[in-house]
Homo-oligomer: A and B are copies of this chain.
């Protein structure tokens, strides 16, 4: 089993991504998460370029990191000055890290067109800068920027740049496909050539502009590279960097390489999601291994086969990476999947019964209106109950009114009045909130607590808004998903309307009713949507 050093650049190359802006706190949290995942290196910017980075390097020293080595990142010295006079080089020292990554130009075109200097001066810049840090006793990783484009244009010069870095003491040379356009066969061939001709470890750094960053990284490893640079979830400039959350399990679970401690692999999905949260980006649910859809089955035939044996439509056991199998509820799910859900409410309903048909028809109708129960099984259970007559409303709405005003008076700008009826008793009350939905949520719970004290156990944990037909602008239809918990269970409900308040109201009502039915039935009908019958035969 060959060991691969994983080198994370989420804090540096990741921060170049559209929509990403890390605070110092964010950067520290990401460093700890990357450490927990057992990654070898984390690259964290240049303390000279930014006061935020300086603060980070000071505070990161106080963290107790077990696996990860923090790397400061900077360029070779500027043209025609002494390395010790270069402000950027000096600022790298203030990071006070054991290792530094120095990037230099390996493509002659960039030397002429961007640096606007001579090929020889560029070699001297590489030599001087690498030597400067080596002499200070630091581990120096040389990032050969645009190495593959450079090699294709002028192989002799590209090789000279890395030979120069090695001569000056670089401990690793990393071949970068900076523009992300190189093809897999080229990556294989060129990496293989470099590995045969240098005496230090070779790294690979790919970008995803041709959609092949992961494959390119894998092929480079198969050609002899032993360091892989990338980012968590592939965040990075343009189309992103090579996605470490795909590369690590590809190499470690499916090929014979060791990237991280085995016991860390199970935390891959949760750490990937955690970093999406910190980066404040929507987690890509289609991502291999760590996406919510990665092991989701929707087609009826596929679902049947997975019930027989999960290997039939899963390339690995999702538990290995801390993910899970999901069986989706939808009109193409097939009658048998919908029937399983119906049987959770009433096991006596036959497959071809008029009730089953009615439910399937209603599902199609609701999906047409914009409902999607794949992520909101609890609302779908309520639909089934209503059709089967197994539903009794816990309360009736007489009316509500929400008022939002500017300027704000006091702490909140929104207030909601609500009047409900439970049996023959009427409750009218009001509450304030940050925004209209929060005010309405507070008012509804306040009104119900007298009748159903168990409502106090429950709280909303997530609230999502999706605009369905955004071309209609402020009159567009929206889909609201609300995730709730009472400490024991977690459930998700849905509402759709052209009005965000109404959509939120529908999801709120479903959430409360689901909680009340659940408690009344002693939790009998509450099933996680992950199917427990499909054994893990992987």
Contact = CB atoms under 8 A, between A and B. Distances in A.
Contact of A280 (B180, B296, B468, B502): B468
A309 B463 contact: no
B210 A240 contact: no
Contacts of A504: 474
Contacts of A402: 403-405, 436
A239 B438 contact: no
A435 interface: yes
B413 A332 contact: no
A430 interface: no
Interface in A281-309: 282, 284-288, 291-299, 301-302, 304-305, 308-309
Interface in A425-439: 433-438
Interface string A1-44: 00000000000000111110101000000000000000000000
Contacts of A473: 441, 459-463, 482-483
Instruction: State the majority secondary structure of interface residues on A.
Output: mixed
Interface string A438-482: 100100000000000000000111111101111101111010001
A315 interface: yes
Interface bracket on A? 35 or more
A344 to B, nearest CB: 21
Contacts of A212: 212, 214-215, 218, 250
A433 B502 CA distance: 13
A293 B294 CA distance: 24
Interface stretch (A262-270, A349-357, A366-374): A366-374
Given A328-B18, A435-B475, A470-B463, A179 B313 contact: yes
Contact of A294 (B238, B330, B459): B238
Given A114-B312, A296-B18, A502-B406, A211 B214 contact: yes
Contacts of A164: none
Interface string A211-222: 110111011001
A498 interface: yes
Given A23-B368, A406-B502, A17 B284 contact: no
A83 to B, nearest CB: 19
8 contacts: A114-B312, A185-B222, A238-B294, A280-B469, A434-B475, A436-B499, A437-B500, A463-B467
The 8 closest A-B pairs by CB, nearest first: A181-B315, A215-B215, A435-B499, A460-B473, A211-B246, A211-B214, A434-B498, A212-B215
